[in-house]
Amino acid sequence: MAELGHEVVGVDVDPIKIANLSAGRAPFFEPGLGEMLTKANASGRLRFSTAMADVADSTVHFIAVGTPQKHGGNAADLSYVNAALDGLIPFLKEGDLVVGKSTVPVGTAADLAAKLAASATGATLAWNPEFLREGFAVQDTISPDRLVYGVQEGPKGLQAKAILDNVYAVALSNETPLVVSDYATAELVKVAANAFLATKISFINAMAEIAEATGADVTKLADAIGHDNRIGRRFLNAGVGFGGGCLPKDIRAFTARAEELGLGESVAFLKEVDSINLRRRQRAVAMATESLGGSVNGRRIAVLGLAFKPNSDDVRDSPALDVAVQLKGLGGDVICHDPEAMANARSKHPQLSFADSAADAVTGADAIIVVTEWDEYKQLDPAAVGEIAQGSLVIDGRNCLDMAAWREAGWEYRSMGRPDHDR
Catalytic residue IDs: 246
Binding span for ligand UDX by CB under 6 A among 127-135, 283-291, 334-342, 357-365: 127-135
Q: Pattern of binders to ligand UDX over 300-339, x per CB under 6 A? A: --------xx------------------------------
Burial class (CB in 10 A: 0-12, 13-18, 19+), 278: middle
Q: Could you say which of 33, 89, 132, 192 contacts ligand UDX (CB under 6 A)?
A: 132
Rounded CA gap, 168 and 61, in Å?
A: 14
Phi/psi at 133 (5° precision): -100, 140
**Residue ranges in 274-293 that form contacts with ligand UDX under rule CB under 6 A:** none
Rounded CA gap, 21 and 26, in Å?
A: 6
Residue closer to ligand UDX by CB (options 52, 192) is 192
Please give the DSSP secondary-structure letter assigned to residue 366. Answer: S
Rounded CA gap, 402 and 400, in Å?
A: 7
Of 22, 142, 152, which Cα lies nearest the Cα of 98?
152
Please give the DSSP secondary-structure letter assigned to residue 70. Answer: P
**Residue ranges in 147-206 that form contacts with ligand UDX under rule CB under 6 A:** 194, 197, 201
User: What letters, b where the CB count within 10 A reaches 16 and e where it falls short, cover 306-315?
Assistant: bbbbbbbbbb
- Which residues on neighbouring strands pair with residue 122, listed in sequence order? none
Q: Is 244 in the site for ligand UDX (CB under 6 A)?
A: yes
Q: Could you say which of 157, 243, 332, 382 contacts ligand UDX (CB under 6 A)?
A: 243
Rounded CA gap, 68 and 74, in Å?
A: 10
Residue closer to ligand UDX by CB (options 145, 422) is 145
Rounded CA gap, 95 and 303, in Å?
A: 54
Of 140, 106, 116, which Cα lies nearest the Cα of 61?
116
Q: How far is the CB of 190 from ligand UDX (least distance, A)?
A: 7
Q: How far is the CB of 235 from ligand UDX (least distance, A)?
A: 4
Binding span for ligand UDX by CB under 6 A among 46-54, 69-77, 141-149, 229-237: 229-237
Q: Is 100 in the site for ligand UDX (CB under 6 A)?
A: no
Q: Could you say which of 65, 99, 147, 236 contacts ligand UDX (CB under 6 A)?
A: 236
Q: How far is the CB of 321 from ligand UDX (least distance, A)?
A: 11
Q: Is 239 in the site for ligand UDX (CB under 6 A)?
A: yes
Contact 290, 299 (CB under 8 A): no
Q: Could you say which of 247, 288, 345, 369 contacts ligand UDX (CB under 6 A)?
A: 247
Q: Could you say which of 203, 242, 411, 413 contacts ligand UDX (CB under 6 A)?
A: 242
DSSP E strand stretches across 324-389 = 333-337, 353-354, 367-370
Q: Is 28 in the site for ligand UDX (CB under 6 A)?
A: no
Q: Is 131 in the site for ligand UDX (CB under 6 A)?
A: yes
Q: How far is the CB of 341 from ligand UDX (least distance, A)?
A: 12
The footprint of ligand UDX (CB under 6 A) covers: 130-134, 194, 197, 201, 235-237, 239, 241-244, 246-247, 308-309
